[in-house]
C-alpha cells in the first residue's frame, strides 16, 4: 500500500463518521471521530472541523507521530507545513471530489488567517480529548499563552543558526558511531544531508525530489540544478566543501567520485537499506526525522555546557538550514543579489531579511561600551 493510499484511507475512515454514533477510542482516529460526532448536527462546523482534523492526523502519521507525542516544536513545523505543504506532488492536487483518484488533502498552502483558524480548532479538539481522558497534555495551550508575545518577537527573530551553533552540529555529527555497517551508513547519510542543506539552501522537497543527475558540470564548474517553488528552475553553485562531501557520500555508496547525467535512477539522498539490492530515495518524512532527531541529540549533549546553544539547536527543522545557508552566505560577504539567485527568491526584499550584520555590530558596540562592568 503506497503512502497516498494510506492518506486516502484515513480520509475514508473519517467520512464514515455519520454511521457511527458511539465509538470506543482505542486509537487516535477513533478519538477524533468521537470529538467530531459532537458537531454532526452543525453541517458547516462539522465539515470545517473534519477537514482540519484529518489534515493534522495525516501529517502526524506521515511524520511518525501520534496525538500524544506532539510537542510545541512540532506545532511550529506544522504551521510551516500548512503554509507550504511539501512535497506538493504528494499533498496538493486539483479541487475534485473525495472519490476522485486525483484528490489530495490540499489544493495549495493556506493563508495566515486559515492557519490561525486551524490551530484554534485543533486546540479545541485537544481540550475535548483531555476532558474525555484520552489525552493528558495540550501543546496547543502554549500558543494561547504566548501567541501575543511570540507574534512580536518572531517579527524580529529569524530561525537560523549562528556560526558557533552550526560548528557544534558538524562537530557532533563527526562523533557519531561508525562501529557497525548500519551505524556507518547512518553517519555518512546524516553528514551528507546537513552539508547538502547548508551549502545549497535547498528546500526539503527539492532534496527529496533531487537526483544525482541533477549535478551538472559546465565550463569547468559544478552546479546543482533544482526545480523549486512554483516550478522555478535554478542552478546552485557547488562549493569545494560540498563537492568533497558529495564525493565522500558517493564513495560510501560504491559510486564513482563524480556524478553524471545518466544517473537519473539514483536519488540525491538515499535510504540506508537497499530495496531489492538497489538504492532508493529518502522519503520526506525520513529527511524531516533525521534533522529533528540529530538536532535533539546534539541539543541534549550541549544542555550543561552551552544551554543557550542547546535551546536553539533543539528547535531546528529542515527549513532552519535554508535560513542558515542564506544568513551565512550574506555574512561571508557574498553580494545580496547573488544570494538571491542562489536561494531562488523572487524578490530581493526576501533575501535582505538575512542581513543581520548591522544588528550584530550594534549589539557588540553597546555591550563593549556600556553596561559591562567586567571589561
Quick: pLDDT tens for 122-157.
999 998 898 888 888 898 887 755 444 444 444 444
The class of domain 3-154 in CATH terms is mainly alpha
Q: Give the span between the Cα atoms of 223 and 239, in whole angstroms.
A: 9
Q: pLDDT tens-digit profile of 192-234? A: 999 999 999 998 888 989 999 999 999 899 999 998 777 788 8
One fold for 3-154 and 163-356: no
> Residue 261 has which C-alpha cell?
547525467
β-bridge mates for residue 226, sequence order: 234
Q: How far apart, in whole angstroms, are the C-alpha atoms of residue 10 and residue 75?
A: 20
pTM of this prediction exceeds 0.75 = no
Domain residue ranges of the chain, discontinuous segments joined by +:
3-154, 163-356
Residue in 153, 152, 170 with CA at minimum distance from that of residue 161: 170
Contact between 133 and 68 (Cβ < 8 Å): no
In the CATH hierarchy, which fold is given to the domain comprising 163-356? hpI Integrase; Chain A (1.10.443)
Q: What is the dihedral of CA 197, 201, 207, 210, to 10 degrees?
A: -120
Any idea what DSSP says for residue 110?
P
Measured between alpha carbons, how far is 364 from 136 in angstroms, rounded to an integer? 45
Longest dimension (CA), the chain: 73
The one-character DSSP state at 203 is -
Average pLDDT, the chain: 83
Amino acid at each position: 500500500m503506497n503512502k497516498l493510499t494510506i492518506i486516502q484511507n484515513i480520509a475514508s475512515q473519517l467520512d464514515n463518521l455519520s454511521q457511527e454514533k458511539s465509538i470506543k477510542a482505542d486509537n487516535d482516529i477513533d478519538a477524533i471521530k468521537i470529538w467530531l460526532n459532537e458537531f454532526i448536527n452543525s453541517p458547516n462546523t462539522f465539515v470545517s472541523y473534519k477537514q482540519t482534523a484529518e489534515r493534522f492526523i495525516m501529517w502526524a502519521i506521515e511524520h511518525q507521530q501520534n496525538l500524544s507525542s506532539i510537542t510545541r516544536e512540532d506545532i511550529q513545523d506544522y504551521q510551516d507545513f500548512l503554509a507550504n505543504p511539501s512535497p506538493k506532488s504528494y499533498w496538493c492536487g486539483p479541487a475534485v471530489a473525495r472519490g476522485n483518484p486525483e484528490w489530495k488533502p490540499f489544493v495549495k498552502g493556506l493563508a495566515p488567517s486559515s492557519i490561525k483558524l486551524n490551530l484554534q480548532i485543533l486546540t479545541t479538539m485537544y481540550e475535548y480529548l483531555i476532558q474525555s481522558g484520552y489525552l493528558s497534555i495540550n501543546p496547543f495551550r502554549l500558543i494561547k499563552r504566548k501567541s501575543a508575545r511570540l507574534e512580536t518577537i518572531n517579527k524580529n527573530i529569524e530561525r537560523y543558526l549562528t556560526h558557533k551553533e552550526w560548528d557544534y552540529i558538524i562537530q557532533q555529527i563527526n562523533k557519531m558511531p561508525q562501529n557497525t555497517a548500519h551505524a556507518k551508513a547512518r553517519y555518512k547519510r546524516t553528514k551528507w544531508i546537513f552539508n547538502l542543506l547548508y551549502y545549497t539552501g535547498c528546500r526539503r522537497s527539492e532534496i527529496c525530489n533531487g537526483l544525482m543527475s541533477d549535478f551538472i558540470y559546465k565550463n569547468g564548474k559544478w552546479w546543482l540544478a533544482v526545480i523549486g517553488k512554483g516550478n522555478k528552475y535554478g542552478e546552485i553553485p557547488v562549493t569545494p566543501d560540498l563537492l568533497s562531501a558529495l564525493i565522500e557520500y558517493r564513495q560510501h555508496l560504491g559510486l564513482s567520485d563524480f556524478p553524471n547525467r545518466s544517473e537519473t535512477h539514483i536519488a540525491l539522498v538515499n535510504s540506508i537499506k537497499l530495496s531489492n539490492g538497489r538504492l532508493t530515495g529518502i522519503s520526506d518524512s525520513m529527511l524531516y526525522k533525521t534533522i529533528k532527531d540529530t538536532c535533539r541529540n546534539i541539543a541534549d549533549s550541549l544542555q550543561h555546557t552551552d544551554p543557550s546553544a542547546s535551546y536553539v539547536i533543539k528547535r531546528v527543522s529542515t527549513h532552519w538550514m535554508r535560513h542558515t545557508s542564506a544568513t551565512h552566505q550574506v555574512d561571508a560577504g557574498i553580494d545580496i543579489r547573488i544570494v538571491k539567485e542562489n536561494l531562488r527568491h523572487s524578490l530581493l526584499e526576501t533575501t535582505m531579511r538575512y542581513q543581520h550584520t548591522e544588528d550584530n555590530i550594534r549589539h557588540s558596540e553597546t555591550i563593549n561600551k556600556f553596561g559591562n562592568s567586567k571589561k
